[in-house]
Amino acid sequence: MCCKATKYLLFASVVCIAITLIAIPAFAQGAKAGRSLPQPQLLGPESLSKQITVNVWLKQHNKAAFDELVRQMYDKNSPNYHHWLTPTEYKQKFAPSDAEAATVRQHLANNNLSVVSTDKFNHVVTARGPVADVQRAFGVQLNRVSLNGNIHRMPAAEPVIAGAAGKLVATVQGLADLSYQNYSQRRVDPDTGQPEPMVALSSPSPAIKFFNANCLRAPQTKGFKTPGGPRAVYSGNRYGNNINSGPPNLPPCGYDAPQIQKAYGLKSLYNQKLDGAGQNIVIVDAFGNDTITSDANIFSEINGLPPLTPDNFLILYPTGPASCGGVCGGWADETSLDVEWSHAVAPGANIILLLAADNSFTNLDLSVLFAIENQIGPVISNSYGIGEIVLATYFPSELTVQDTLSQLAAALGMSNNFSTGDNGDFFLNYGVTTVSMPAASPYSVAVGGTSLFLNSDKTTKVQTGWGNNETRIANVTPNTPVIPPLNFGFIFGAGGGESQVFAKPSYQSSLPGTGRQLPDIGYVADPFTGVEIIITDPANPAGGPLIGVIGGTSLSCPMFSALWAITNQAVGGDVFLGTSLGQASPLLYNLPPDAISDVPAVTSPNNVTGTVYLPNTPPYTESADSLVAPLQNTTDYLSALYNGLSTRWYVLSFGTDSSLTTGPGWDNVTGLGTPNGAAFVTDVVGSLP
């Protein structure tokens, strides 16, 4: 007999849910990107005996009526404003029928494919079989291709399904094998490409004992010389501590939970008993971290947070068993970051971690829909994505799947939140500018990133858009000057810009352009002003948990998701009772000025400059601009001297985000800005009719 759900705490009901594969029909949205990527290089047919899994998505009923109803749900002038559909209402009015799902299953079975599952709303039928049978079932050749130097499986054309089933199918996933990438970032040595090592944690102690919070120090002057040869002198702001400093002054700047809570005005919320209590934060990740519970509890102990127990932390596997196994492309870091920092922002909330078996489109999409169809919580945090242009060029069906996932979440009173990425305008990735998908859907909440500098009392000193350029000015000890300085240029920064696929939604009517604009909102994301995480690395010869500094928009997204859970708590939000706030984006754009702190472009009179002395040659000046080039569209930024762990010296910039720029009001790096703690929650509640 299944257990009974309480009013707010959904753990009992979630445990009772059959863990089946589920999905949603595709949204009829054509790719309209005016730019495209090169065609992949054909390597030959895929092996006919290779076993693959496909998801066959069925068409919704009454799609135009559903679109209009969702529009009205977010129109304050409509009688349907915030009147969310229940799952039963949705199934009755808009979901595919049992008979339609049966027709699709029969088509698959007729082609020797094994049907794995059908979701409870008949949105998708999942099947598995050899490539030969898949090709016959969908009338398409599957090939091996080279794409950006990697080998992938791709269909030669759009699938064609014969008979009655063909009229019911919206799209097919799994014919191609591209995947989503997580958006967590650790600082990387530009000369070696290796991330800064984490620090062994011998025993838990207060977090303040590990990393300093003094990211931006007073100006310094540093001289570098070659015996009998050139020399150079650089002066300006200083980033981070000396590399020979020990705890609590290790060189990387990194914040603990109490510091972030104070900087963003969260403690005043906690004083009002607003900490997310009674709310569920849903986190979707791939693979997971095999030691997440113990790691997160060490994090909680050193940061003064409540422990994670079976009463407030649950892990589910919507697509089958999931494990990192020590090597999973950064997803263990991602999982630790998501769980620990959603808990840091909303320490009273319940966390439900959904782990997809891998980072494929199919398994992550199915995991998101598992959360939506079962209404597990009012907010879903997703810290992954891919360039919109990749999907527009090669896989437009995935654009439609993800757009409809977020639309269904919005219709059921949930906010589906996504990171905007760590690659700025993505030009270095694809050779053209683009935005991140699924963040680009108008039904998603797109969360961008900032760089955050604190005062000694942990209040905000400076905040600007996240984007780092780096230039090497001196070699390893003994430090000799690099002449001319070696510009590495753009390292990483928050994603943003204008969608080339999705039209600008009505809630962004005041913004420029005709397409969906990213992001909507921001939070700290810069790894150089990042946060601490705890993670156990099986490859660490010292054994035991490690502590390190991390960032990326994978940080800003779970932080905002946790704050949205607190905001739902403030209105007594409950997705089962239809009282939740729904998608956050439409509520953000008309809040009073005190709700969101605008993030400006900033500069400093102490940006780094240098003087170079060559034998028998007059000295010359390296300007601040030349030392962080190329600046592209940026004019105002911060720069600082930075001594890397390799002992090389660099000039590091903040606020230089590829072609994206930070500025007054909404901008394409930070969105509207960063939420202003209690004022944000109060103003959202006050904005409701």
> Contact at 8 Å (CB) between 33 and 393?
yes
> What phi and psi values does residue 339 have, to the nearest 5 degrees?
-70, -50
Residue 608, number of CB atoms within 10 A of its CB: 30
Structure tokens at 406: 């977020």
* DSSP code string of 361-387: HHHHHHHHHHHHHTT--SEEEE-EEEE
Q: What is the pLDDT of residues 53-68, one digit of tens each?
A: 999 999 999 999 999 9
Structure tokens at 199: 């620090």
pLDDT confidence bin for 542, thresholds 50/70/90: low
Average pLDDT over residues 13-36: 35
Name the CATH superfamily housing domain 199-590+628-687.
Peptidase S8/S53 domain (3.40.50.200)
Q: What is the pLDDT of residues 252-279, one digit of tens each?
A: 789 999 999 999 999 999 999 999 999 9
Average pLDDT over residues 222-236: 95
Q: Which helix (H) or strand (E) holds 155?
A: strand 150-155
Model pLDDT, residue 18: 28
CB contact set of 422 (below 8 Å; sequence gap of 6+)? 183, 185, 449, 492, 493, 494, 495, 525, 552, 553, 554
Give SS3 for 447.
strand
> What phi and psi values does residue 310 have, to the nearest 5 degrees?
-60, -15
pLDDT confidence bin for 250, thresholds 50/70/90: confident
Residue type, 619: P
Q: What is the pLDDT of residues 77-99, one digit of tens each?
A: 999 999 999 999 999 999 999 99
The DSSP output letter for 360 is B
Average pLDDT over residues 442-466: 96
- When the pLDDT of each residue in the chain is averaged and rounded to a whole number, the result is 91
| Cα 563 to Cα 132, 527, 556, 660, 675, distances in angstroms | 49, 21, 11, 26, 9
The model carries a pTM of 0.93
pLDDT confidence bin for 248, thresholds 50/70/90: low
Describe the chain by its helix, strand, coil percentages, rounded to 5. 25, 30, 45
Model pLDDT, residue 98: 96
pLDDT confidence bin for 204, thresholds 50/70/90: confident
pLDDT confidence bin for 541, thresholds 50/70/90: low
Model pLDDT, residue 610: 98
Q: What is the pLDDT of residues 587-643, one digit of tens each?
A: 999 999 999 999 999 999 999 999 999 998 999 999 999 999 999 999 999 999 999
Indicate whether 21 pLDDT > 70: no
Average pLDDT over residues 307-325: 95
Percentage of the residues of the chain whose pLDDT score is greater than 70:
93
Average pLDDT over residues 138-146: 96
pLDDT confidence bin for 13, thresholds 50/70/90: very low
Structure tokens at 636: 């105002």
Q: Where in the chain is the domain with CATH 3.40.50.200?
A: 199-590+628-687
Q: What is the pLDDT of residues 27-37, one digit of tens each?
A: 233 334 346 78
User: How far is residue 684's CA from residue 590's CA, in Å, rounded to a whole number?
Assistant: 9
Model pLDDT, residue 200: 83
Average pLDDT over residues 455-473: 95
Indicate whether 25 pLDDT > 50: no
Indicate whether 4 pLDDT > 70: no
Structure tokens at 165: 């089933």
Model pLDDT, residue 273: 97
> What phi and psi values does residue 59 have, to the nearest 5 degrees?
-75, 145
Model pLDDT, residue 245: 77
Average pLDDT over residues 531-550: 83
